[in-house]
Structure 1
Amino acid sequence: MADNRQGQLGSTTRDRRGSRRRTAALAAGLLAMAAALLLALSGCQGVAAAQPPALAKAPAAPHKVVVIGDSLSTGFGTTAQDAWPNLINTDPVDIDDQLQLFNASTNGSGYVSIGTGNSTFGSQVKDAVTSDTQLVLFFGSENDMGQAPAAIGAAASAAFAEAKAKSPQAVMLVVGPPSYTDQPESDRLAVRDEVQDAAVAVGAMFVDPIAQGWIMGHVDDLIGPDGDHPSVAGQHYIKAQMEKLIKEALSQPAVLPAVTKAPTAPATAPAVVK
């Protein structure tokens, strides 16, 4: 009888030990499964949190500018590469301005004066301005000196009207003829006055290099041996003036309410480019 009770007690003890081992194994298995689940969830969250790379910003389309002018804009006396419109294209002061200049200028031309290839400012507008032109820049012209003032005014008005007809949204920037002295000839002033009046009539932005004192006092550095056309340094000087004006004009609406008057203080010449 004692032997039977001892056997039953040993059997019960073994059963309890086995049960504890099974329970421990089950708990360990559950912990392992929980750890694996947490690891999987953590991995999924990491993938979800990852952000796609930022898309590169597309470059802005360049502003299309047409230059209407004479030999002061062709590089006459230097080279076409040294002409101020080309300098703006190849070496702008601010690359973010995104300017694209098409230079329609020809030697000897003016509003009335007929230049190379029977060109006038009016014919340059007809040949070069397109519907997507954003700014038309007129510069000059001393070649019209001696022409009847009324004829200059009429030709300027016609050229401006043609530019507006070809590109209604385009801004017009009209720069009068420069003078290298503070006592310009009466014929030069007559050209300036007729061009200014025509520009005001169409709401263009007018700039007077004579009033601003462009080049005055710096002729030896900025004008070439012929005494009329800019040297390489002079082309860089005009480029600096024009680039500022273009940037200002492009910030204006297509039709301005009145002329932009030029300041009377002389412009300061930049360092001479060797």
Structure 2
Amino acid sequence: MRIVTVTAAVVLAVLAGLLVVKTRTDDHAAAEVRPVSITAADTRPMLGVIGDSFAAGTALGGAGGQGFPMMVAERVGWRWGTTAIGGTGYVAQLPGTLPYDGGQVDRMVAARPDVLVVEGSQNDGRADVAAVGRAATALYAHLRRALPRTRIVVVGPVASNSAQAAALGSVDRAVGDAARAAGLPYVDAIAEGWFTDAQAALIGEDHIHPTWTGHQRIADLLGADLTRLGVLPPARV
């Protein structure tokens, strides 16, 4: 396990907003990410998550930093942190936000996570697929240069139902192809059936974002994938 020494300057920088950000209002819901506790005495490994409102959490589930990033990390006794911003993606952005590379990478690099998950994004469903692929390729290259010791795993767009899964197929392929070309493990949430019509009760009233129980399902499935890939230990009993 890599031991991280966090100086007072880094602690102040994180508290000032290098890592944890308040998510912007997206088309459907908003949330605030809970600040991450990073102290010189806390040398546990860290799980970081770059992503959209699924990772940030919303009022329908996962608000206040209680979503799947926290669940996955706490089950294995790790620290966690997310820079996720609702409405964003590899190229997608809402007014006042930036896509992943421009809006989240610097904050995540400052945190130096041991394992980094890049999730999404459903928001790229209306974007040019070729542009998504190019942006994903550039993002992974940036992350590998900036975080050479971090184990990076890419999670494809998370669909909310079966129809959306079909509509996101081209984005899923573009992101997956870019991840594999970069030599990064790819978790295909659509192929694994994280949310189909059979899990409609786990999606909120907006028919897009997961409920609290939906976040538990993501944590179960993603945690198992990360353990299978050898980047996380098995969950504690």
TM normalised by structure 1 equals 0.62
State the one-letter code of the partner of 1:156: A
Q: Specify the alignment match of 1:63 in structure 2.
A: 45
1:113 paired residue number: 92
Distance across 2 between alignment mates of 1:164 and 1:80: 29
Instruction: Indicate conservation of the 8 Å contact 2:50/2:118, yes or no.
Output: yes
Question: 2:67 pairs with 83, 97, 111, which one?
Answer: 83
Alignment of 1:46-195 (within 5 A): 61-76=43-58, 77-78=60-61, 79-89=63-73, 91-92=74-75, 97-115=76-94, 117-123=96-102, 124-130=104-110, 132-184=112-164, 187-195=167-175
Contact 1:222 / 1:231 at 8 angstroms: preserved in 2?
Answer: yes
2 CA distance for matches of 1:231 and 1:131? 28
1:161-219 CA-to-partner distances (Å, cap 9, x unmatched) read: 11111111221111111234445466511111110111011110001111111122433
1:178 and 1:225 map into 2 onto residues whose CA distance is 17
Structure 2 gaps, min length 5: 1-40, 233-237
- Aligned counterpart, 1:7: none
C-alpha distance in 1, partners of 2:173/2:146?
Answer: 25
State the Cα distance separating 1:119 from its structure 2 match: 2.9
Report the Cα distance in structure 1 between the residues aligned to 2:69 and 2:198, rounded to whole angstroms: 21
Tell me if structure 1 keeps the 8 A contact 2:133–2:175.
yes
Q: Are 1:204 and 2:188 counterparts?
A: no
> Runs ≥4 in structure 1, deviation > 6 angstroms?
none
* RMSD across aligned positions (CA): 2.4
How far apart, CA to CA, are the structure 2 residues paired with 1:245 and 1:125? Answer: 23
What is the letter of the counterpart of residue 124 of structure 2? D
8 Å Cα contact 1:126-1:163 kept in structure 2? no
What letter is aligned with 1:165?
R
Task: Tell me the number of residue pairs that the alignment of Structure 1 and Structure 2 aligns.
Answer: 189
| Percent sequence identity over aligned pairs | 28
User: Displacement of 1:159 after TM fit?
Assistant: 1.0
Superimposed CA distance per residue, residues 7-35 of structure 1 (whole angstroms, 9 cap, x where no aligned partner): xxxxxxxxxxxxxxxxxxxxxxxxxxxxx
2:151–2:231 CA contact under 8 A, matched in 1: no
Equivalent residue for 1:244, pick from 224, 228, 232: 224
One-letter identity of the residue aligned with 1:139: E
Unaligned runs of 5+ residues in structure 1 are 1-58, 253-274
What corresponds to 1:226 in structure 2? 206
Say which SS state the counterpart of residue 173 (structure 1) adopts: strand
Aligned to 2:195, the other structure's residue is in SS state coil
Match of 1:271 in 2: none
Q: Is the 8 A contact 1:136 1:163 kept in 2?
A: no
Q: Which amino acid aligns with 1:110?
A: G
Distance 1:153 1:84, change over 3 A: same
Decide which moves more: 202-211 or 116-125.
116-125
- 1:13-24 correspondence runs (5 A): none
Q: Work out whether residues 174 and 206 of structure 1, in 8 Å CA contact, stay in contact via their aligned partners in 2.
A: yes
Larger Rg: 1
Listed as ranges, the matches of 1:263-274 within 5 Å are none
TM-score (norm 2): 0.71
